[in-house]
Amino acid sequence: MTWDQLTWDHGVKLVDSLAWPLIAAALVIILGPTIRQFLREAKSVSFSGAGLEASANRDDVTAAAALGAAVQHKTNGGTTQRAS
């Protein structure tokens, strides 16, 4: 194997290993604002892939926040405290 062939093989492997991450990064940069707007306006979002499942429902998050506020209110003796 010559030096030129060795260098060419390493160059091809480098480009091959960087191609998909660079494409994914470019898509995130290009589509980022659109994805953020979609997630802001979506009522529920779910994701499944690579052995991972995740979902979020805006109504569930709102209910959990209200429940947390009610529990905090009750533990403060039913009084509302002002921030100083």
Please check whether residue 44 is in contact with residue 58, taking contact to mean a CB–CB distance below 8 angstroms: yes
Task: Say how many domains are in the chain.
Answer: 2
Identify the top-confidence range among 4-8, 52-56, 77-81.
52-56
What is the distance between the alpha carbons of residues 84 and 82, in angstroms, rounded to a whole number? 6
Residue written as tokens 């039913």? 78
Residues 1 and 20 placed together within one structural domain of the fold = yes
User: Is the confidence at residue 5, as pLDDT, over 70?
Assistant: no
Question: Rounded to the nearest 5°, which phi and psi values hold at 80?
Answer: -100, 130
Kindly report, residue by residue over 12-54, the tens digit of the pLDDT: 888 888 898 999 999 989 998 888 887 777 777 777 887 888 7
Q: Which of 68, 40, 44, 46 is nearest to 58 (CA)?
A: 44
Q: Which domain holds residue 59?
A: 44-77
Residues 34 and 49 placed together within one structural domain of the fold = no
Report yes or no on 15 lying in a domain.
yes
The pLDDT score that the predictor gives to residue 26 is 92
Report yes or no on 84 lying in a domain.
no
The pLDDT score that the predictor gives to residue 38 is 77
User: Is the confidence at residue 4, as pLDDT, over 80?
Assistant: no
Q: 72: which 2 tokens?
A: 């905090």
Report yes or no on 26 lying in a domain.
yes
Report yes or no on 34 lying in a domain.
yes
